[in-house]
Chains A and B, each alone.
Chain A
Amino acid sequence: MTTLVPITYKGGVYRHDEIVDLIDDLGGYIVQKHVMAQEVVLQSFVPRDDVGLIRRIAKPLAGEVIEAPLVGTEIAVVSPSLEIHHLPHTSCDIAEYLRRAGAKTNMVGLARGFGKRIANLSAEERDVINEHDLAVYVLGSFEECLRQKFPVLRRGVDVPIVLTGAPDRETLTRITDPPVEGYVGDVGRIMHRFKRPEEIRKLDELVDEVSRALDARRDEIAKDPLSIFPARLMDILEEKVQEVSLLTHPTPVTAQLAGLRVKLPYEEYADALRALEIADGVTVGDIAEVLPSKMRNYILIRIKPYSETRIMV
């Protein structure tokens, strides 16, 4: 079986369809395509052995191929609120940097996440966070406050968490019990754009922590592989469900590590999706759960592992 690796292709609009066709011919998948003025960014999975070939073909088109560890993941950036205290810096800067590494990020602004004693997480917020592959908690400056509020903000969250805050990494590790999957210290509340070298280094460190946590999750999945690779199911849905192509969302179908978020109304499309045949009598319902998402009225597809379905598409 060929191993697919996540990459980002950046290049001009001119002749970019050749790259799209190439990735398709090689058996790769494009999970996100952004056309911005004269520039195209493709977030894709391609066979490991063919990365060199794509680089060679992209060269005369002045295209660039970069390894992007977070392609095909959906990450929640959890901010204590959506007030000026946290936005646009730090939360947006972090979300933007994770997007550059290929992730699809969603900002989760809590209704009452601020404060020390008064910090709270509602059931709805918890469920929304749990629909992601990983949550980055962007918290503030005081060790005392983090110690008291973080256990409340993580209550019931079962996805991997990366915690950021002003105390250094050792302090964050010390005050977090039980431990979380990643820590980035010396961030906290920053009221200016991340631009100094040490700030950019922190963002790089965050991407490393996030990819490390996600790699661990990928390894876990690899032990009991999914019945279908999410990007492949995404490709099939985009081909067979015509309504998807009519959606105006930047990512009408969002790929996750073990599922998809389809931005169609659950009530109208869930049954049709479950009955959709993907290969030789196998339907989506056979290999995945089609669930209502807590995010608007979208559909969340959770792909079941091989051990449960005994089907591999």
Chain B
Amino acid sequence: MPPLKYFEVECSDPVGGEAYKRIAADVLQDLDLLKVFEKLHIFVDPKVPIFVAAGVIRHLPRRVRVRDFAGINVQEGKAVLDIGDETYLAPLLTSLWAKFGKENVDQPDRFTVVLPEELFAQGEIEDMVVADPSVSIYQDVIYAMQYIAPEGFKVRRQHVGGTKFYYVASEDTLPEDVVETLVADTFARMGESL
């Protein structure tokens, strides 16, 4: 079972509820999200029909800055960026090109980027944000919920803000106050509030 602090599936149909608990566990495992969630509560009522998932995300990876993955040496009028982790090289180059123009960004080999010193000095390159993994985490969380929810429930309302998220889906039009009522209730079950 997933290393979540809290994981419950509540359903008026016990067989369906058990099935959805397995489905949710499988999906989270498949998408490698077990470590991302701290709490997850799913409420399904096929009679209404409605699917509500609410939860708390464990920790958001912080934004990746240039100094996190590159060593910087300034010498002889040049700033040499020694890339340690190639994962972020492409977004780094894209930002550098946008900032200084392609003609000023030299890449003699895969792991080295060279900039003229005067441009480097005015650019605050070390603290430049290259990537924000939390953006993809938000997408992954919502994708996982779409994957878990019954397929026919196409009308949906979703939200990820800070560490809390919710996902409500149904076949029919959702009531306007669904967030204040059902979602708030679901959070309350976990001892949380939105």
Provide the main secondary structure of the chain A interface. Answer: loop
What is the interface size of chain A, counting residues whose CB is below 8 A from a CB of the partner? Answer: 27
Interface flag for B147 (CB, 8 Å): yes
Interface flag for B30 (CB, 8 Å): yes
Interface residues of B in 1-29 (CB under 8 A from A): 13, 15-16, 19-20, 22-23, 26-27
Interface flag for B153 (CB, 8 Å): yes
Please, how many angstroms separate the alpha-carbon atoms of A84 and B31 in the complex?
Answer: 13
Contact A114 B152 (CB under 8 A): yes
Interface flag for A267 (CB, 8 Å): no
Q: Which of B20, B47, B147, B171 contacts A118 (CB 8 A)?
A: B171
Please, how many angstroms separate the alpha-carbon atoms of A11 and B23 in the complex?
Answer: 38
Contact B152 A118 (CB under 8 A): yes
- With contacts A84-B147, A140-B150 taken as known, whether A116 is within 8 angstroms of B171 at the C-beta atoms is yes
Interface flag for A23 (CB, 8 Å): no
Interface flag for A143 (CB, 8 Å): yes
Interface flag for A153 (CB, 8 Å): no
B49, closest chain A residue (CB): A116
Q: Which of B16, B47, B49, B153 contacts A166 (CB 8 A)?
A: B16
Please, how many angstroms separate the alpha-carbon atoms of A238 and B13 in the complex?
Answer: 53
Interface residues of A in 61-82 (CB under 8 A from B): 80-81
Interface residues of B in 130-145 (CB under 8 A from A): none
Please indicate the chain A residues that have their CB under 8 angstroms from the CB of B44 in the complex: 142
Please indicate the chain A residues that have their CB under 8 angstroms from the CB of B151 in the complex: 80-81, 83, 85-86, 114-115
A171, chain B: closest CB distance, angstroms: 8
Contact A115 B152 (CB under 8 A): yes
Please, how many angstroms separate the alpha-carbon atoms of A51 and B154 in the complex?
Answer: 54
Contact B46 A116 (CB under 8 A): yes
B172, closest chain A residue (CB): A117
B44, closest chain A residue (CB): A142
Please indicate the chain A residues that have their CB under 8 angstroms from the CB of B16 in the complex: 141-143, 166, 188
Contact A166 B26 (CB under 8 A): no
Interface residues of A in 130-155 (CB under 8 A from B): 140-145
Please indicate the chain B residues that have their CB under 8 angstroms from the CB of A144 in the complex: 13, 46-47, 49
Contact A189 B15 (CB under 8 A): no
Please indicate the chain B residues that have their CB under 8 angstroms from the CB of A84 in the complex: 147
Please, how many angstroms separate the alpha-carbon atoms of A44 and B22 in the complex?
Answer: 40
List the interface of chain A (C-beta within 8 A of B): 80-81, 83-86, 114-119, 140-145, 166-168, 171, 188-192
